[in-house]
Structure 1
Amino acid sequence: MGQTVHDWPIILLAVGSLGAMAASLAVLYSRLLPAGSWLHSFGISAACAALGAALWFVVIALLIPEAVTGLFVPIGMMGAVAATLASMAMRATDPPTSAVLVFSAAWSLLVFVPVALATFITGVVGVAPVDHAGSLVVNVAGGAAAFGILLVRSEPSDVPATVVPRWVSALAVTLLVGAWLAWLAAAELAFDEAAATAVGNGVLGGAGGVVGWLAVQRIRHQSSSLAAVAAGLMSGLVAVSAGAPLLSPVAAVSTGVIAGGVACLVTLGRIVASGREQWFLPGTHLVAGAVGLVLVGLVANDAGFLFTGQIGFIQDQLVSTVVVSLYSAGVSFLLWTLLARLRRRRTTS
């Protein structure tokens, strides 16, 4: 990602595509929540997204004004997407709306803001991960938040899930794919050859994710479905996001296939074992994002380990992925536990 830019049309495309991604994910993941109106669920997601963006804008503008560059607004919108993802598993426990908003605000402040600052602006103790489209700060951090909560609350729920009309889901998937590809193009904040490469690799990675997911689901569970196609497509897009302009077409397809296969293996394995559909969140976002980040360090054109034989690049990718995963999961675990205890005390008092 570039560090400075004054081309507002590109920034507006970046902001619009990230906003559309947050909205699409909010609709699609309503089905993971307890029964209710998907429109009501969407409203709560919008509030979480607004908190995620607002905290980045306020904290950075007040405390680190030198970080207000061309990336400032797009990173804030990444915060909106990340907060939407991070809150989903917590919302599946059917907490009050106030607790959801507190969790989203606290997670955004404690996890997203420092991770985004370190990834895109300052770096941390010499570790500088390559993250073209924010996969580390959105997918890995957001997916790890769901993972941390699912470790606390792993028993299956007997509450019916929210039903999202098929036509709404189909529209949301279409919007999500289009917005994701637009974001891959705009993430460099410049329309150039790298942007075109990123979009092409997004298409190839998404297709590879479908192949990988369907292959594993067919082998392990003897089934295929349209939902599996959508899951594989998302896994592939997540996986190539970190290094979209740095991959060859073969590497993009391979990254999608590997990520889709591994995400399917983890996701369906945990859903079968636990009975909780919410494992789709860490499976598709955390696992696929982590696979993509590490593979960038392995196969990136002229920079990955296979090209240079140097471990520095892949080491930074691996270390940053592990650290962010553990940190986000740990913070989410503690926040959910604290909020659950406060809720029980209010109930018994």
Structure 2
Amino acid sequence: MEGMTLMEINAGDTAWVLVSAALVFLMTPGLAFFYGGMVRVKSVLNMMMMSAITIAVVTVLWVVVGYSLTFGGDNGGVIGNFSVAGLKGLIAPEAVSGTIPTLAFVAFQLMFAIITPALISGAIADRASFRGWIVFVALWTSLVYFPVAHAVWYLDGEGGGGFIATGIKAIDFAGGTAVHVNAGAAALALAIVLGRRVGWRKDPMRPHSLPLVVLGAGLLWFGWFGFNAGSALSAGTTAAVTFVNTQVATAAAVIGWLIVERIRHGKATTLGMASGAVAGLVAITPACGAVTPVGALILGVVAGGICAFAVSLKYKLGFDDSLDVVGVHLVGGLVGSLAIGFLGSAAAPSAVDGLFYGGGAGQLGRQALANLIVGVYSFVVAFVLAKLIDLTIGFRIKEDDEREGVDQVEHAETAYDFLAAGSGLRGPATAVRTPAPVDDAPAKDAADKEGANA
């Protein structure tokens, strides 16, 4: 995120940031469709509810303490304070951040805080209790997301701020480290703690609705322009560069993923296309302000191919990451962040040269260190939280309940009423589908005569 200094409010910048906030919000319903389509019929509602409840829980936390702990001052470069808890004083006309009202910045950053824990849910599809998930979201967001976002993005305007931004000086323009590596590491921890699904590697666990997956991927792609270009916090050149880089890298990643899929399996699939797009979006997120469009193209192809390989690692390593959160978000976020050390160009808004542009290995080392710190911290805290939740209120549902379906057990609902659809074909709806009645008297007469002759 770009630094903020006190200036006059600019209407164009304010409009762009508010629109971008709405775009980023749309990504969470998009994620619900994307994940919902990838699970089996008996889990689709629970999968979508895990994203939806995150909106509610994190919004409340953000207003009460979240924004203040993330952007309200600084304590040792690690966490903020309670100076603006409850958004105290931020609705005043003089509350300005850069060229936008501070409350616009609050809204924009809220959407990032919402989608980050929602991403984790895909790793534990089909087997997590809803109340366990709610508790985890509240605790992990408070203990991990708020301090990590502070460390990565907070700048005080006087050269101080979060230790990753000002001490390590790693670049994370829109969330490769704070969002994707952070969520991906937590997803790995939860997949390990909750264990494998019943029938994993034995039963077919194919997506129940590829159209929903494609719809979700499309909404994510659309919303991601706000995610990346909105992080410029102004309607100018930086927003334009990051917008173009986002499109280029995502398109290239689709091609990279499908090439690998075609070589390995002989077919290019719809699921592969959607997954490749998300992998490209993830990878370009930290680097969208640091590379040129050509660099974005290279990054996209490489990220798409690497993530296509990475999703199969769960079978070799033996952990059940249901919807490939680790392979796409953790690996994709790492690839994108480390790519800054190779493909970064001083001509781009972040103004840092990577190895391929004569900048040396310094920036690559900074990127690696920042992601190592965030990944390890997130993994450890998520692992401990998941264990505690499982030992107390329970995090994984019972095996019999899992077989029956988490939708029915946790929500007393099913996504599709197959019984009603089936009975409709045999009931009144049949009359609508049959041809209009015709005069069949001649046919009956003929049949009667034939019967009499017999």
Give the TM-score normalised by the residue count of structure 2: 0.69
Is 1:98 aligned with 2:147?
Answer: no
Cα shift at 1:123: 2.1
Is 1:85 aligned with 2:119?
Answer: yes
2:178 is aligned to 137
Range with greater deviation from structure 2 (3-12 or 33-42): 33-42
2:279 is aligned to 235
Cα shift at 1:40: 5.0
Please give the secondary structure, in 1, of the residue aligned with 2:163: coil
Range with greater deviation from structure 2 (242-251 or 16-25): 242-251
1:52 is aligned to 58
1:199 is aligned to 243
What is the CA deviation profile of residues 290-329 of structure 1, one whole-angstrom value per residue up to 9, with x for unaligned ones? 1000111221112233234343322221111111111111
Distance 1:170 1:216, change over 3 A: closer
Please give the secondary structure, in 2, of the residue aligned with 1:304: coil
1:30 is aligned to 36
Match of 1:65 among 54, 65, 72: 72
2:192 is aligned to 151
Could you list the runs of 5+ residues in structure 2 that have no partner in the other structure? 74-79, 85-96, 155-160, 347-351, 399-454
Contact 1:212 1:259 in 2 (8 A): yes
Distance 1:117 1:183, change over 3 A: same
Cα shift at 1:160: 8.0
Residue type at the aligned position of 2:237: E
Contact 2:253 2:302 in 1 (8 A): yes
What is the CA deviation profile of residues 237-263 of structure 1, one whole-angstrom value per residue up to 9, with x for unaligned ones? 111111213211221111111111111
Contact 2:35 2:323 in 1 (8 A): no
Cα shift at 1:193: 1.7
Q: How does 1:230-269 map to 2 (within 5 A)?
A: 230-269=274-313
Cα shift at 1:133: 1.4
Distance 1:160 1:213, change over 3 A: closer
Match of 1:221 among 255, 265, 268: 265
Contact 2:38 2:210 in 1 (8 A): no
Distance 1:100 1:243, change over 3 A: same
2:391 is aligned to 341
Match of 1:330 among 380, 386, 400: 380
Quick one: distance in 2 between partners of 1:18 and 1:114? 21
Match of 1:17 among 19, 23, 38: 23
Cα shift at 1:149: 1.7
Contact 1:56 1:109 in 2 (8 A): no
Quick one: distance in 2 between partners of 1:335 and 1:35? 29
Range with greater deviation from structure 2 (327-336 or 24-33): 24-33
Cα shift at 1:77: 1.1
Quick one: distance in 2 between partners of 1:65 and 1:84? 24
Match of 1:321 among 356, 359, 371: 371
What is the CA deviation profile of residues 251-288 of structure 1, one whole-angstrom value per residue up to 9, with x for unaligned ones? 11111111111111110242476484625111111101
Cα shift at 1:339: 1.5
Is 1:177 aligned with 2:184?
Answer: no
Question: Greater helix share, 1 or 2?
Answer: 1
Quick one: distance in 1 between partners of 2:39 and 2:323? 12
Contact 1:19 1:77 in 2 (8 A): yes
What is the CA deviation profile of residues 85-110 of structure 1, one whole-angstrom value per residue up to 9, with x for unaligned ones? 123324x2623221110001111011
Distance 1:219 1:331, change over 3 A: same
Cα shift at 1:189: 1.2
1:123 is aligned to 162
Residue type at the aligned position of 1:13: V
Please give the secondary structure, in 2, of the residue aligned with 1:287: helix
Is 1:109 aligned with 2:159?
Answer: no
Q: How does 1:263-342 map to 2 (within 5 A)?
A: 263-271=307-315, 274=318, 276=320, 278=322, 280-302=324-346, 303-306=352-355, 307-342=357-392
Contact 1:83 1:142 in 2 (8 A): yes
Contact 2:14 2:234 in 1 (8 A): no
Q: CA RMSD in A?
A: 2.9
Quick one: distance in 2 between partners of 1:78 and 1:156? 29
Quick one: distance in 2 between partners of 1:328 and 1:93? 23
Give the TM-score normalised by the residue count of structure 1: 0.89
Quick one: distance in 2 between partners of 1:50 and 1:271? 34
Residue type at the aligned position of 1:65: G
